[in-house]
Amino acid sequence: MPRSLYGSAVTVPAELGSVLMSLALAAALYAAVAAFWSLRRNAPHLFRDACRGVYVAASCLALAVLLLVLAFLSDQFQIRYVAHHSSTSLPTHLKVAALWAGQEGSLLLWACLQSLCAALVMARPPGHARHLVPWALPFLSLTTAFFTALTLFLSNPFVESRVAPADGLGLHPLLRHPAMLLHPPTLYLGYIGLTVPFALAMAALVGGQIDRWPAAAYRWLLVAWLFLGLGLLLGARWAYDVLGGGGYWAWDPVENAGLMPWLTATALLHSLKMQMRRQAFRLWNVLLAALSLVLVLFGTFVTRSGVVESVHTFARSPLGYYLLSFVILTLAGSGALIIHRRKLLGSPDSTAGLLSRSSVLFLSLLIFVTVTATVFVGSTFPALTRALLGRSMEVTAAWFDRATGPQFAALVLLMGICPLTGPVATTLRQLRRRSLPVLAGAILTPVAGALAGFTRTPALLAFAVIGAAGAATLAECWDVLGPGKRTVLRVLQDPRWGGYLVHLGVALLASGIAGTRMYAAETVAVLSPGESIRVGRYTLVYEGLHSKEASDHTAEYASVAVYRGGERLATLSPRMEHYSTFDITRGVPAVRAGVWEDLYLVLTGWTDGGAVAAFKVFINPLTRFIWWGGMLLLIGGVVAIRGWGEW
């Protein structure tokens, strides 16, 4: 009998997990039907029963997740999913992370989080639009039922093996990174959070109360956007630390699947504010809410169907057909409802005046949609060509950079232009006062970049745009500070700080992307012990190779001394690990991170026990700006959620 984490014999009843999922499915379906009939018959008691169904579904799925976690912690290898993703030697925190390491467990977690989200909406309905909740409940419950049914019937993590192995395979080597403890759950929370704005938008269309849903959905949308952004940032860090390709973003279809709904959610955050203030962008908002959820479901289809090749995807499975059907049903149903209620969606104020803030926002929304469409086309092109032509035509990362780079630059530029429009620029004097910081930023930033060695014309143009946007945001911050007129507490309570921090984070992030995309350098070196190579400002000296044995793999470490100007800066130890259980050999990079650039070193091979070793050396300028900018962006989101700021 398997040993528990604490040494006592414990057996987890796998059948109980399936029973709990069955009860959750029945409860979710009942909640959807009861909520619908409560509206048709104006029967409040049926709606109360529907709410109870939501709570029962959430409770059952939460218990199923806890049961699976207990199975991992107590080494229940008679459960096939546990045996495939855990082992007795795996640390406790990785055993918990193994819950979402495979398709079955991640789907169960998704269904559980979806049900908890629906329960939270029922328990704490948005005060601005409580009457929309009964209409939103069927949408939320049907989504819960769909993912629960997928897990129960097609991807059940509680299936038992006929013969329990003495030990499991362990967690896949690529997933043994701290970011994997948070990356999948945060992405799922972001994906699931986007179902609430969708459900409220559809409820508003059905109920004919189109101007009440934005205030109810805004905070939910902000939370979803924050978690999705955190998941993307953690994924980028994981790729940088683990994959050994020298980069953090390769435009992989699964990476893009998370980026696309984040882009549309960003657009929706801005346009919802305009509807709350001026009843503008009504059509845009319901379209963006629907599109965000459709892209979430499409990303799930891409990840779990096997139609694309990616290091991130799960194994090919029959789930793809059902997920694609759900995508089509959601798209067709929401589209039909929008067309049916189109008379409610007129927004005559959305583009009033060429230099109005509404016009700038309208242009921003167009660019958000076009860049999302560009990423979508590039991500699906190989699969489409394989289906239509019989051969896959790949889209390179360079194509994505060329196609999306100008569009992202235009968005950053509009971020700098926006403070010059609207009520702030009602007089020429005010316009001049706002223009001076923007012009100063547009001039001084590329000058500073040129002095730092970034002299190519595209880089200087990028830094000019980034400088203008950053200076515009700083000027707005200065206006809020009101020197000598406001206390610190009053300043922190200003409702605009969240957006300012996010925009400053975007400027830093854009600077990092410009540096790494335009000035990254790659060198291949083959060295014997004592030999050196000069790469950029650094001299690398190969000192030798040594081996280490671990419980489930062997590792070969190269010792490389790093010098600059005759001074020894560091010793880097890139390594290659071989896992016989998985028949995988992977390179683990060594990175010397600096403020202005990273030295990124990968061991790619060796001969004669290390007499000759081969390396890839990357110089990645401004990489740290990406991590700083991403963290500042997320801090701005947290500030906004706490009520200190909103856009």
Residue 638 has pLDDT above 50, yes or no: yes
Q: Global pTM?
A: 0.93
Q: Are 65 and 109 in contact (CB under 8 A)?
A: yes
Q: What is the pLDDT confidence band of residue 627, given thresholds at 50, 70 and 90?
A: very high
**Ramachandran region, residue 566 (left: φ > 0; alpha: ψ -120 to 50; beta: rest):** left
Return the DSSP state at 182: T
Tens of pLDDT, residue by residue over 310-369, are 555 555 667 888 999 999 999 999 999 999 998 888 754 545 555 577 888 899 999 999
> What percent of the chain is predicted at pLDDT more than 70?
89
With 0-12 CB in 10 A as exposed, 13-18 as middle and 19+ as buried, what is 163?
exposed
The rounded distance, in Å, linking the Cα atoms of 38 and 133 is 12
When pLDDT is averaged across residues 115-141 and rounded to a whole number, the result is: 88
The pLDDT value recorded for residue 641 is: 82
Q: What are phi and psi of 260, to 5 degrees?
A: -60, -50
The rounded distance, in Å, linking the Cα atoms of 167 and 100 is 19
- Helix (H), strand (E) at residue 99: none
Q: Are 263 and 371 in contact (CB under 8 A)?
A: yes
Q: Are 46 and 34 in contact (CB under 8 A)?
A: yes
Reported for 19-23, long-range contacts at CB under 8 A and 24+ positions apart, including other chains, are 20/60, 20/61, 20/63, 20/64, 20/67, 21/60, 21/61, 21/64, 21/108, 21/111, 21/148, 21/151, 21/152, 21/156, 22/152, 23/56, 23/57, 23/60
Three-class secondary structure of residue 75 per DSSP: coil
Name residue 557's beta-bridge partners: 546, 575
Angle (CA) 493-498-501 rounded to 5° is: 120
The rounded distance, in Å, linking the Cα atoms of 122 and 455 is 56
Residue 419 has pLDDT above 80, yes or no: no
Q: What is the pLDDT confidence band of residue 647, given thresholds at 50, 70 and 90?
A: very low
Look at residues 473, 464, 453 and name the one whose alpha carbon lies nearest to residue 519. Answer: 453
Cα-Cα-Cα-Cα torsion 559, 560, 562, 568, nearest 10 degrees, comes to 40
The pLDDT value recorded for residue 109 is: 97
- Residue 165: both structure tokens together: 């192995």
Return the DSSP state at 345: G
Tens of pLDDT, residue by residue over 151-196, are 999 999 999 998 889 999 999 888 888 888 899 999 999 999 999 9
Task: Please state the domain extents for the chain.
Answer: 1-176, 400-519+625-641, 525-622
The rounded distance, in Å, linking the Cα atoms of 164 and 166 is 7
The rounded distance, in Å, linking the Cα atoms of 278 and 272 is 10
Q: What are phi and psi of 474, to 5 degrees?
A: -65, -35
- Residue 534: both structure tokens together: 């000069």
Give the mean pLDDT of the chain: 88
Tens of pLDDT, residue by residue over 61-96, are 999 999 999 999 999 999 999 999 999 989 999 999
The rounded distance, in Å, linking the Cα atoms of 433 and 516 is 34
The pLDDT value recorded for residue 309 is: 63
Three-class secondary structure of residue 534 per DSSP: strand
Quick one: three-class SS letters along 480-509? HHCCCCCCHHHHHCCCEHHHHHHHHHHHHH
Name residue 216's beta-bridge partners: none
Three-class secondary structure of residue 444 per DSSP: helix
Residue 8 has pLDDT above 60, yes or no: no
286-290, 301-305, 393-397, 572-576, range with the lowest pLDDT? 301-305
Look at residues 641, 647, 645, 630 and name the one whose alpha carbon lies nearest to residue 231. Answer: 630
Q: Are 622 and 597 in contact (CB under 8 A)?
A: yes
Task: Report how far apart, in Å, the C-alpha atoms of 203 and of each of 44, 141, 246, 437, 581 are.
Answer: 17, 13, 46, 44, 51
Q: What are phi and psi of 515, to 5 degrees?
A: -65, -45
Classify strands 590-593 and 597-607 as parallel, antiparallel or unpaired: antiparallel
307-311, 411-415, 591-595, range with the lowest pLDDT? 307-311
The rounded distance, in Å, linking the Cα atoms of 327 and 325 is 5
Query: What angle in degrees, to the nearest 10, is found between the helix axes of 103-123 and 195-207?
Result: 50
The pLDDT value recorded for residue 494 is: 64
Helices (H), 482-578: 488-492, 497-519
The rounded distance, in Å, linking the Cα atoms of 516 and 596 is 11
The rounded distance, in Å, linking the Cα atoms of 106 and 98 is 9
The pLDDT value recorded for residue 387 is: 78
Q: What is the pLDDT confidence band of residue 484, given thresholds at 50, 70 and 90?
A: low
More confident of the two residues 330 and 437: 330
Q: Are 573 and 560 in contact (CB under 8 A)?
A: yes
- Residue 240: both structure tokens together: 């940088």
